[in-house]
A and B are shown apart, each in its own frame.
Chain A
Amino acid sequence: MKFNFFHLMPYPYLPDDFDDLEKYPSMSLNYSNANFDPARGVQLYHRYLDELEHADAVGFDGIVVNEHHQSGYGMMPSPNIMAAALARRTSNSSILVLGNAIPIRGNPLRVAEEVAMLDHLTNGRLVSGFVRGIGWEHFAHSVSPAESRSRFNEAFDLIRKAWTTPGPFQWVGEHYEYRYVNVWPRPLQSPHPPIAVPGAGSPETMRWVAENRFLYVSVYAPTAVVKTWFDGYRGAAADIGYEVEREKIALAVPVFIGEDERSAHEEARRHVEWLFHKGLRQSAEMVFPPGYMSPPALRGLLKANLKPYPELSYSELVEQGYVIVGGPESVRNRIGELRDELGFGQMMTMLAIGDMPAELVRRNTDLFANEVVPHFRTALATAG
């Protein structure tokens, strides 16, 4: 099993009256950047990069950065900049960019170029993820959600071709037109860095990821729902005669380890609630604006009848599997159970949850590295 340390880089310093829903309907899009204090921002960026570097030092297989826009939920509008900052300060872990939100970028070739550069800076430790971007980010960057999927598809095809086909060549598509595609540098890894794609149940995505044998990564959801996604991915792969290796399936989940069961919940609760009740406070219109999903996909979502994150109580979040919280032994056991139930071979563990202070993130990271990771290394060695 591979363990990756995932960071969102949230901005934890909220106004005291942030629970006023009328005043603060969300932490994204319309939450004024007057609330961003640059003096704190500079400390946060360096603290968060330290945390990622520490994860590399204590043996995580990968460290993970991602992309969000106009939001206190995640402060990485450009994940590539963070990956570059980490490239020469780490030496062992893979660096996973999960991912570049290619539909909302105006120029996919710029992404192809930056990721190819990162592949060299990391000496081939790069995993390149691609995402569509959340609905609100289409408002933020003024890209029609109705074009989101076709822009994603075309941008991806262009980027992959730019990495793998000797240039110059011409590209004339629905959204992009280039007379000269000839990116320097080409990536270091051959034919290109491994690709990771998050999925939230879309059958189209499952099929596409299976056809290309990419890494499929879950997003926040109950265990029972994630199981249907992973089963769907395996099913889509089986349909084309491909048996998915476990390592091509990754569970993304916040994990909190305390000294024991009881103190873990006491300590974790406020930070988990920060993430789901404040960080993920957003209207349906922000997440799924018109055109972002097909009408049948919306029908499926309505049928699933999932509660919005802020309406999930702490115990529901724990019981339904949105988060894993406990003492070292119970977390270890839970991960083992989930691995057997869901069949994943990688985890994207979010060990810096919401507004957790630096000391707690450090303790959580070290406990995970010392108390959980070795157990699965041994299990693998024994099994192998």
Chain B
Amino acid sequence: MTDVVEGPAVARELAAGSGSISYFRSGSGHPLLFLHAAGGAGVWGPFHERLSGSADVIAPDHPGWGGSDDLPELRGVDDLVYHYLDVLDRLELDRVDLVGASFGGWLAAELAVHSPERFRSLVLLGPVGLRIPGHLVADLFLMTPPQLVAALYHDPALVERILSVAPGTDQIVATYRELGSLARFGWRPFLNNPRLESRLHRISMPARVIAAGEDRIVPRVHCERYAAGIPDAELVVVDDCGHALYGERPDAVAEAVVTFLSERAGGRS
């Protein structure tokens, strides 16, 4: 769980579908679209701040998360793909670096498959989205809040610190809404698109898959299969880190993203 940084990033509103979404935008450089994980909406944290040192970071809340409306007309991940293509069009962003974490990593991969020409590079952080029998993503819907926190973070002291503060009613209701949105998009098939893996060959931009060294939500093989299926992809591992990745080790994860962007994406814009 990241601390909120007091900075120039303030939530903005963008009309979308039947309502509006909320997004942060800050930094300078090439535009970078960051798609958050199932948790972590509505927050501009140290990870975002670090990325914004070298990129124009656009970080929207998914429909049904954070400050965004539910947009109930969106019923599947394919709808979210068109939603984000609309967002890029509306913001007049022609070609961006795309970074997605966990559920957002799945969306990023689907976007890159759908419209490879819109993305200069792709970074997936502990992505879900592939169907791998025998290695299913953990059933986070069935976990109690303490179980979920303990599964997300590797550092026991961090787990203890997060659990030491009892959530208020507003927080419980907000989390329930966001997990309900995750259920809308990913209950069945469970956080995967059975067709996605066979389409990864369409991802023509350079890609980096960043795995958490101690991921108890998404088995490592998911990252390995993404890295194997995307033609120009490499797999790196952030050690001593749980599935929360940018929520647990924001500096190390941001470093892994920024390094990749400067080495592989920068020269080709």
Contacts and interface: CB of A to CB of B under 8 A. Distances in A.
Contacts, number: 61
B262 interface: no
B188 A146 contact: no
B82 interface: no
Contacts of A147: 184, 187
A142 B191 CA distance: 12
B173 A291 contact: no
B50 interface: no
B172 A144 contact: no
Interface string B160-200: 00000000010011101101111110011000000000000
A286 interface: yes
Contacts of B144: 283-285
Contact of B172 (A142, A146, A291, A302): A302
A227 B176 CA distance: 28
Contacts of A138: 187
Instruction: Name A's interface SS.
Output: helix
A290 interface: yes
A139 interface: yes
B183 A289 contact: yes
A285 B142 CA distance: 6
Nearest to A136: B142
Interface residues of A, number: 22
Contacts of A283: 142, 144
B239 to A, nearest CB: 30
A299 interface: yes
B187 A295 contact: no
B180 A291 contact: yes
A289 B188 CA distance: 14
9 contacts: A139-B141, A145-B187, A146-B181, A146-B187, A147-B187, A289-B141, A291-B180, A299-B169, A302-B173
Given A146-B184, A285-B144, A290-B141, 6 more contacts: A144-B187, A146-B180, A146-B187, A290-B182, A302-B172, A302-B173
Interface of B: 139, 141-144, 169, 172-174, 176-177, 179-184, 187-188
Interface of A: 138-139, 142-147, 283-286, 289-293, 295, 298-299, 302-303
